[in-house]
Structure 1
């Protein structure tokens, strides 16, 4: 994806947010020389606090694993992603989305590819969201969502695609 395409898909704030995330992610997982790693980590943390947390009102830690082409609608405003979360390729997150852990449960959410998550949705605990799944606005997902399914409500109900529901 070119820089122009990334800017168009994410907007300037979403682009900067992902740029800071990618910097931190590369430092966290790839830089092994201690002195250089600490210096680069300090630069990342300053950028993270100023750009991502203060300006963007988001929390996207470097320890999360995020695939290519993440769409942060509204610049990722209020998006919270816990360390350990895995997000597949070409996913879309609207504002105020939380991908987090649950008390008493080990693990964090794992999202497949091409997942759409509506505004205010919460996905909590060690759940798996399948490829091409959709999570409705303000849904609270506490269970796995199969490929192509839609989750809506509090707690979320799973709606299967029509061809699967007919069987």
Structure 2
């Protein structure tokens, strides 16, 4: 496992322009994620350290208008260029390294997945996600892809692809 202090330092540097509250949210997220993993492994003893982080996350989420649960897998050096305002990332989702996510983005799960169970997107590395983009369902976004502003992505996106609103899947040539 990479050194947590190195990851926190990378998050701090990557999100310098996003504001202090966003940086504090990411620190709380990283510590909460570790505490969640330890809680699942060790049970009740770690709960005393987990609860304050959870309460702090809820407060910061209300203040920022965002939702990123500790169960979400965020990669290293993820950057929230305009802060965390309006960002929702499902607890089932994963986001790779070096991604840039702008405000009002939803990376969500849906109940109508192929398996019949809730499923969420798996976002690759070095992805740009524009303002107001919605990425919903059991899908993959390949490395180095760009999701434009207001794009609605409901099918997998190949590596290096460019998605644009209003009908991203048609412009990419991914019709059913």
- TM-score, normalised relative to structure 2: 0.82
State the Cα distance separating 1:10 from its structure 2 match: 3.9
Aligned to 1:141: 153
Looking at structure 1, the residues matched to 51 and 163 of structure 2 have their Cα atoms a distance apart, in angstroms, of: 39
State the Cα distance separating 1:9 from its structure 2 match: 5.3
Aligned to 1:60: 68
Give the length in aligned residue pairs. 159
CA-based RMSD:
1.9
Aligned to 2:55: 46
Aligned residues of 1:93 and 1:118 also touching (Cα < 8 A): yes
Aligned residues of 1:133 and 1:150 also touching (Cα < 8 A): yes
Looking at structure 2, the residues matched to 113 and 72 of structure 1 have their Cα atoms a distance apart, in angstroms, of: 15
Aligned residues of 1:135 and 1:150 also touching (Cα < 8 A): yes
* Correspondence 1:75 to 2:46: no
Superposed CA deviations along residues 87-138 of structure 1, whole A, max 9, x for unmatched, are: 0000011001000012311411001100000011000001100111000111
Choose 5-14 or 111-120, whichever is displaced more.
Answer: 5-14
Q: 1:112 aligns with which of 102, 124, 140?
A: 124
* Correspondence 1:24 to 2:36: no
Looking at structure 1, the residues matched to 143 and 17 of structure 2 have their Cα atoms a distance apart, in angstroms, of: 20
State the Cα distance separating 1:7 from its structure 2 match: 4.5
Extract unaligned runs of 5+ from structure 2. Answer: 1-5
Looking at structure 2, the residues matched to 49 and 134 of structure 1 have their Cα atoms a distance apart, in angstroms, of: 30
State the Cα distance separating 1:15 from its structure 2 match: 1.1
Aligned residues of 1:129 and 1:144 also touching (Cα < 8 A): yes
Superposed CA deviations along residues 9-39 of structure 1, whole A, max 9, x for unmatched, are: 5432221121111111101113433333221
Aligned to 2:3: none
Looking at structure 2, the residues matched to 15 and 111 of structure 1 have their Cα atoms a distance apart, in angstroms, of: 21
Aligned residues of 1:142 and 1:155 also touching (Cα < 8 A): no
Looking at structure 1, the residues matched to 50 and 137 of structure 2 have their Cα atoms a distance apart, in angstroms, of: 28
